Structure 1
Amino acid sequence: MTDQKKIAILQVTHLRGPNIWTYRPVIEAWLDIGQLEDYPSNTIDGFYERLTGFLPSLVEHHCSPGVRGGFLQRVKEGTYAAHIVEHVTLELQNLAGMRTGFGKARQTSKRGVYKVAFRTRQEQVGRDALVAGRDLVEAAINNTPYDVAAVVAQLREKVDDLCLGPSTAHIVDAATERRIPSIRLTEGNLVQLGYGINQRRIWTAETDQTSAIAEEIASDKDLTKALLKSCGVPVPEGQLVRSAEAAWEAAQDIGVPVVLKPYDGNHGRGVSLNLVTQSDVEAAYALAHRKGGGSSVIVEKYIPGTEHRALVVGRQVVAVARGETLWVVGDGVSTIDQLADTQINTDPRRGTGEEFPLNVIIPSETGEVILELERAGLTPQSVPAKDARVLIQSNGNVAFDITDQVHPSVIAAAALAARVVGLDIAGVDMVLEDATKPLHTQRAAVIEVNASPGLLAHIKPAEGQGRPVGKAIIEHLFGMDRDGRIPIVGITGTQKTGRIARMVAWLAHISGKHVGLACSEGLYLDGRQVDAKDCARWEPGQRLLINRSVQAAVFENGSQTILAEGLAYDKCSVGVVTDVSWHESLVPFDILDAEQAYKVARTQVDVILPTGTAVLNAADPQVVEMAELCDGKVIFYGMDGTSAVLSQHRAAGERVVFVRDDQIVLAHGAQDIALLPLASLKPAKASQPEMVMAAVAAAWALNIPPELIGAGLRTFESNPKKTPY
């Protein structure tokens, strides 16, 4: 090959919910590999070596062989460019800090054109990784340069800017482990866990249970100390001051040494410790005043010891970390700035991003360090004598896990402090001589109680075991057994699915629930039409799931919606499939026959919960095949109660719905549970028994009593304007 070979990206679609590929959001891209269709990877000289040189970490991709190095084995044996782009795109996302693993590549009906689907946690990052992956593969094919490090750095910036922060992601991952669904409500860290009325919301370490009053108390350090002291929690003596002169007067009243810190400070910014002289106190006041944005400054009695942070969730202390004291040792040549770089900042645990448990220390840019050095008669540009130890930081970087070593009395004091302030999640800062000893045997104090505490130091400590704080927060919000879900019914097919959806929603509503409905006939709340447009789409569906008043939801899902957007929900209680039908509107998706249409419709069955039910039309053989795909139970419906499908299902002790003697029969095994006369229904419904049976079966799957189902059918109005609410 002497000429440049290109890979064209024809179209890119973000499937935001469960789809034909998988249960999770993916990006689907159509790639035209052109003449590369004639050049699998094993025919391109040097390609394997160049690809692995660019991305040696591809060795971790198992691919179809199912073993480490499996994908590279495929490359050696010969595979096509679209498949390679899929894996490279995934690996670029991984290297950028957005872990993912699912991907597939499938040939379309047009020669050289492939559909590539890959998991992504953020659409724009995924799109950028796709373009970068294509470019990298082209470079490896054509033997041209490619700067992998620069591209990964750019993607990492996008991940940092656009993805959930590590603390929020940790909580969301814990929810996912519990099978609790999540919806990101903003581009930031506001996330909904669960659906409808059973949802909870988090904003990193704040929840919808976090009291605004408690947050105000926590931000008022003087008030916090007064409340803690009144409840028997040890706190340092202190005063609030508004000038350097008043700070020195307070220090004399309290008795040196003292601590100065901003009234509105956090994360240890502007805090100076162990101050004795007037000049030190006045300099510390200036620093605290500046770091606190011009607010008042607190002067407190200095408590000797090490700073600790206890993370309280609910009524439990779930993690405790201690701080560190930092020194550098002179070599007689280097400045303190240089010594910090070579002796402190070389630690791989230090960095500027949230993923690093320890901070980078630049003395000349850190007011607290400058003040500490000035007290020793030094500056960041000073050159300490060889072997001279210089204190850089008295306390900070509270990121060394000691949870299992803490004395119960220390745990009890931290938990009490959080309760006194009123926070459901709190970071309680304590100064302790020894966290393993009883509180009353040492000089100790609670110095702050913080709302919205940082979690990363406990999730990924600099030393010690990471703590499952996300799991603790999820248990605090949902207990041990709730999953935040509401009953959801999804309906797919071509046989009056919009009308079936409206009927199911009405039956659920009269059972006593506030019901949301998104279908081709509009968007409804409790039978009231709030939008007359076609709402059988992802976005209107999300509107229902976000609505705190919705106790159950019904969705119509056409094949085009599944192919173009994905389902609006991750799992459902009931999935209805009326038929598998191919039509010309599916051609643009390269769905060309009934067999391919089956793979689209089965998506509705694939997402049924193990506790849920599939409602399937026994008259359609392809729909009947889907029964074995369902993780839950199955209800078949059909006109002929003696058909082989219904008879066998009844014989197995399962539920069926059919018509006999002009009555809809609900049968469970050999027993007829209820009879609903078609004559009692309005003519329009009575003349369409398949539609009614599908709705009846779905309502029955929701455990709505047959008497209510019958009443609901009699009161259902086909015209939405006449539907009562």
Structure 2
Amino acid sequence: MERPDPGTEIRMVSLRSLRGANFWSRRPVTRIDMAVGAYDEISSAEVPGFTDALVAAFPGLWEHRCSIGERGGFVTRLRRGTYAPHIVEHVGLELQSMAGHDVGYGRARGGDRPGEYTVVFEHLHGEVGLRSAALALEIVQHAFAGELESVDYAVAELEALARSPDFPALRQQVFCGITGGGDRGAVRDEMLRRGIPDEELIVDVAPAYLLNAGLPYSRSEIAIILDTELLDVPDRYREEDRAQQLVSVVADAVPRGGIVVVPAKEWEVQDRVRDAGCRVAIFATDDDVTARDALLAHAVAMVRDGRIVFECCGSTTDGGPLRTDEPIAAQVAAALAMLSLEELQPALLRADAPAP
């Protein structure tokens, strides 16, 4: 039976390099979004000679354990039948290995729209990662067409790219990164009002930016997660578990033992932050902080009788009155963040900071 042309059915939708910590990994990754058309239903097992041709071109695929967890695992998957996005992932990794780069992390998942897939894999050199993704797509097209031969040309191109300068590594350090679907700008304004000396030291990281580019800095003293109600990302990333995973990325830039400000009752996010090695500070827009919130929290900020109240290290202190010109969540989260910064880096704040 004649199969649809893989050169037109399997195509790239977008290609990008994520330099900072991201939804998939703390390491830099290459992301290729692809559409597969009719090949959503056509596996490697349905194309005569597919596996033999691919393994002949890439003998190193025998070392890919894949989900089977043993040498030859990916080859077994090929023989049983797997699909274009998964194959692009492994070919992209193996191309880099053949060019001399020791990489191993990759994922292939459902994409932002029906019929699309997102493939990510680790890279050591940004340009090599991007070109590996494009070449992997091309090679998989040839394999499904039954036209795959030598890939020496691809390896030679990547080896040459590997000798060229890479994208500069992220080196920016900031006081605070803020993410979530709430009013991040209001939090930023409140922190400036409370004494942050330079607006460039507070970074508003939109969830969509975080998803598509990763963190734009390498380190932050603290981080703030306002909520998990994300409106600027595709539907699949608004689902509870993915939204929690996405906003928790800001914890990856906070030093171990550092502090991340998280809403009360966002227990899964709190756990993710602790798993990243950070302490959690909890904020609420009322005084409804549960025992589960308070049990492991380094500090708590809540609202009582129109004022912000802090509980930390067994003592209760006043954080000042609420104002009517900014959202309550922004004021409480910013106040708690400033309390945390004063503990961690008191010398970094202005000596003449205004009173709350």
User: 3-state DSSP class of the match of 2:233?
Assistant: helix
Is the 1:20–1:563 Cα contact (8 Å) retained in structure 2? yes
d(CA) in 2 for partners of 1:69 and 1:120?
22
Match of 2:233 among 581, 586, 594: 586
d(CA) in 2 for partners of 1:617 and 1:71?
42
d(CA) in 2 for partners of 1:690 and 1:670?
23
User: 3-state DSSP class of the match of 2:203?
Assistant: strand
Cross-structure match for 1:147 = 150
Match of 1:702 among 341, 348, 356: 341
- Alignment-mate amino acid for residue 107 of structure 2: K
Aligned residues: 346
Is the 2:68–2:74 Cα contact (8 Å) retained in structure 1? yes
Cross-structure match for 1:567 = 215
- Alignment-mate amino acid for residue 638 of structure 1: A
Please show how residues 74-89 of structure 1 align to structure 2 within 5 Å.
74-89=77-92
- Alignment-mate amino acid for residue 233 of structure 2: L
Q: Cα deviation per residue 1:422-458 (whole Å; 9 max; x = unaligned)?
A: xxxxxxxxxxxxxxxxxxxxxxxxxxxxxxxxxxxxx
Whether 1:684 and 2:314 are equivalent positions in the alignment is: no
Q: Cα deviation per residue 1:528-551 (whole Å; 9 max; x = unaligned)?
A: xxxxxxxxxxxxxxxxxxxxxxxx
CA apart distance, 1:132: 1.6
Match of 2:286 among 640, 661, 664: 640
Whether 1:665 and 2:334 are equivalent positions in the alignment is: no
Cα 1:573/1:68, change in 2 over 3 Å: farther
Whether 1:626 and 2:273 are equivalent positions in the alignment is: no
User: 3-state DSSP class of the match of 1:611?
Assistant: coil
Cross-structure match for 2:245 = 599
Is the 2:187–2:334 Cα contact (8 Å) retained in structure 1? yes
Whether 1:554 and 2:202 are equivalent positions in the alignment is: yes
Cross-structure match for 2:261 = 615
CA apart distance, 1:508: 5.0
d(CA) in 2 for partners of 1:93 and 1:52?
16
CA apart distance, 1:578: 1.0
CA apart distance, 1:117: 1.1
d(CA) in 2 for partners of 1:653 and 1:135?
50
Please show how residues 317-328 of structure 1 align to structure 2 within 5 Å.
none
Is the 2:108–2:120 Cα contact (8 Å) retained in structure 1? yes
Whether 1:8 and 2:11 are equivalent positions in the alignment is: yes
Whether 1:157 and 2:163 are equivalent positions in the alignment is: no
Is the 1:23–1:570 Cα contact (8 Å) retained in structure 2? no
Q: Cα deviation per residue 1:126-152 (whole Å; 9 max; x = unaligned)?
A: 222222212222222222143211221
CA apart distance, 1:693: 1.2
d(CA) in 2 for partners of 1:633 and 1:110?
36
Is the 1:487–1:702 Cα contact (8 Å) retained in structure 2? no
User: 3-state DSSP class of the match of 1:675?
Assistant: strand
Q: Cα deviation per residue 1:194-214 (whole Å; 9 max; x = unaligned)?
A: 55xxxxxxxxxxxxxxxxxxx
d(CA) in 1 for partners of 2:328 and 2:220?
25
Q: Cα deviation per residue 1:271-314 (whole Å; 9 max; x = unaligned)?
A: xxxxxxxxxxxxxxxxxxxxxxxxxxxxxxxxxxxxxxxxxxxx
Cross-structure match for 1:494 = 181
- Alignment-mate amino acid for residue 612 of structure 1: G
Cross-structure match for 2:294 = 650
Cα 1:689/1:118, change in 2 over 3 Å: same
Seq. identity, %: 26
d(CA) in 2 for partners of 1:624 and 1:653?
11
Is the 1:500–1:691 Cα contact (8 Å) retained in structure 2? yes
Cross-structure match for 1:199 = none
Cross-structure match for 2:104 = 101
Aligned-CA RMSD value: 2.9
Cα 1:649/1:138, change in 2 over 3 Å: closer
Is the 2:182–2:229 Cα contact (8 Å) retained in structure 1? no
Is the 2:229–2:238 Cα contact (8 Å) retained in structure 1? no
CA apart distance, 1:612: 0.9
Cα 1:498/1:111, change in 2 over 3 Å: closer
Is the 1:490–1:575 Cα contact (8 Å) retained in structure 2? yes
CA apart distance, 1:163: 4.0
CA apart distance, 1:14: 2.2
d(CA) in 1 for partners of 2:64 and 2:148?
24
- Alignment-mate amino acid for residue 626 of structure 1: V
Cross-structure match for 1:129 = 132
Point out where structure 2 has 5 or more consecutive residues left out of the alignment.
none
Is the 1:638–1:693 Cα contact (8 Å) retained in structure 2? yes
Is the 1:651–1:669 Cα contact (8 Å) retained in structure 2? no
CA apart distance, 1:155: 1.5
Cα 1:18/1:591, change in 2 over 3 Å: same
Cα 1:664/1:81, change in 2 over 3 Å: same
Cross-structure match for 1:26 = 29
Cα 1:58/1:653, change in 2 over 3 Å: closer
- Which structure has the larger Rg over C-alpha atoms? 1
Cα 1:632/1:151, change in 2 over 3 Å: same
User: 3-state DSSP class of the match of 1:31?
Assistant: strand
Bigger RCO of structures 1 and 2 (CA < 8 A, at least 6 apart): 2
Please show how residues 214-233 of structure 1 align to structure 2 within 5 Å.
none
CA apart distance, 1:635: 0.7
User: 3-state DSSP class of the match of 1:598?
Assistant: helix
